[in-house]
Amino acid sequence: MTEAVSFQQEFKVKGGDFSRGGEASCEIKNLLRDLGLDPQLVRRAAIACYEAEMNIIMYAWQGQLDLLVTPHRIRIIAEDKGPGIADIKQAMREGYSTATPEMRELGFGAGMGLANIKKNTDTFRITSKVGRGTRLELTIKTNGRKA
């Protein structure tokens, strides 16, 4: 049985475009708030989206965030075209980072991105193909909770 979709939108993200970093996740946060979702759920989704968006900007050539809201869940798919992740287990370790010195100068590269995404979602699935890209499938259960 398929759940009715309350809201759906996609957000394009350009790799390397640090000047627009956070725009998509901020728009998602505002949309979820406007839909009347619980502020804690909105906060969790915003954190997960921001981390995913910045990973696309830092490491991929291009990507997008797809937002799907139903009465019982917020679903986010972050998919990119990029170099992919050779060792997902290592990439999931808190503190592990492949950030360049330039990224670190901008304040990124603490190695907490994927870990923060996982902590703020109820389900987290990551797949990656070296030389092709990475896909994150994220879910936050709402149980119909409104603000």
Q: Is 132 helix (H, G, I), strand (E, B) or coil?
A: coil
The CATH class given to the 7-141 domain equals alpha beta
Strand partners of residue 9: 67
Q: Average pLDDT of 7-34?
A: 95
pTM for the full model? 0.91
The answer to whether 59 and 82 are in contact (CB under 8 A) is yes
What does the alpha-carbon distance between residue 50 and residue 65 come to, in Å, rounded to a whole number?
10
Q: Render pLDDT for 119-141 as a digit per residue (tens, 0 to 9).
A: 999 999 999 999 999 999 999 99
Under 8 Å CB-to-CB from 38, ≥6 apart: which residues? 142, 145, 146, 147
Q: Render pLDDT for 45-81 as a digit per residue (tens, 0 to 9).
A: 999 999 999 999 999 999 999 999 999 999 999 999 9
Q: What is the pLDDT of residue 96?
A: 86
- Domain ranges in the chain? 7-141
